Amino acid sequence: MESLNNGSGFNEVELESFQRQIADRFQDLGSVSSDELLSLPWVRKLLDVFLSSEEEFRGILVNNKGRLMKPPLDRLIADFYERSVKSLDVCNAIRDGLDQIKQWQKLMEIVICALGHRNVNKNNTNKRILGEGQVRRARKALSELAVGLVDDKDSSQPLALRNRSFGRNNNSSNSQSKDQHRLGYFRSLSWYVSRSWSAAKQLQAIGSNLVSPRANEITATNGLAMLVFTMGNVLLFVMWALVAAIPCQDRGLQVHFYMSRQFPWAASILSLHDKIMEESRKKDRKNTSGFLMEIYQIDKCSRSLSELTGSVQFPISEEKEKELRQRVEEMGQVYEAVTEGLEPLETKVRELFHRIVHSRTEGLDCLGRGHNSE
């Protein structure tokens, strides 16, 4: 690449620094064990990577306002923000997926309460009183859980009517009223997602025409074209990983990442992509509604308990009771992990949604002012 430093604005050192930070962050995400990959804390960390990278990206653009309205950068920036708009529907779908996990959490709670109940007998010693009614209640919850965990692509019942947006939960303060006004444009695109909405197609739309800038575009933009291309790939990968992990309508992971390994960040992103795809091909993960580690653990525990409760005969033997108690404790541990990780992730997804909205509004305002001043 030719030297980009012309004595002012963005230069090659800044570009290399930005790309190297992206590479390091994704390498860190990929260095975890298979038990940590795609877990609730890991997904939250993934979103932190995006938010940090986007903040730096936005800062560079703000410092180079004078270049933003000049071709071809004006077109490249506009294309990037159109991709970001398309990602808002993914954020809404992911929130619906997190709501679905909450429903599974309630079913787990029913199972744990039904099978983990203890009473104190008249001799004042702990003794499990487990009746047929409790087992039937647990079986019913486990059956509902099993149905929900399966990724049924032919189902006519999507996770939810996707008619909500993160913007709806605002309070009535003056600043939030202004935010509501700014969100008007985005509502038309992301306020309602129909039953025919497809996560797979949305990912394809986000990645459409995301190609490496030509040498003359890099030179003409003083390297900023490469910055925009880098951030476009980060956006696409993060949305793809969210769809891979969290249940959502018409999931599909067949997205092509057109990036040359000559880019400093390409190897770490492609390596992480390969690891996630490897997880998706495992026999016990293929038909699940999401590759989130906690979903796998819920599925594993519920299957084990379903088999166990299905073979219970009354009065229950001491050996069977001990085995059942152990399985309930395992489900309790998964329940606690979900309880601890779900709400912070939902908060982070909400932050991601609002950051995208704010950044696009700010970026297009800069472009608009630039054109108006000419």
Reported as a single tens digit per residue, the pLDDT across 206-223 is 999 999 999 999 999 999
The two structure tokens encoding residue 39: 């877990």
What is the chain's alpha carbon radius of gyration, rounded to the nearest angstrom?
Answer: 25
Q: What are residue 120's DSSP bridge partners?
A: 126
**pLDDT of 24-71, one tens digit each?**
999 999 999 999 999 999 999 999 999 999 999 999 998 888 888 899
Taking a C-beta distance cutoff of 8 angstroms, is the pair 231, 80 a contact? yes
Taking a C-beta distance cutoff of 8 angstroms, is the pair 229, 212 a contact? yes
* Percent of the chain with pLDDT strictly greater than 70: 80
Average pLDDT on 151-169 reads 49
Which single residue is written with the structure tokens 């004006």?
74
pLDDT bracket for residue 116 (50, 70, 90) = confident
Q: Please report the pLDDT score of residue 161 as a whole number.
A: 45
What is the C-alpha to C-alpha distance for residues 242 and 252, in angstroms, rounded to an integer? 11
Helices 132-149 and 293-310, packing angle to 10 deg? 140
Provide the pairing of β-strand 126-127 with 119-120. Answer: antiparallel
The two structure tokens encoding residue 301: 């525990």
Average pLDDT on 7-27 reads 86
Taking a C-beta distance cutoff of 8 angstroms, is the pair 54, 238 a contact? no
Average pLDDT on 269-280 reads 95
Q: Please report the pLDDT score of residue 363 as a whole number.
A: 78
**pLDDT of 227-241, one tens digit each?**
999 999 999 999 999
Average pLDDT on 118-141 reads 67
48 to 90, 97, 119, 339, 347: CA distances (angstroms): 17, 19, 45, 20, 12
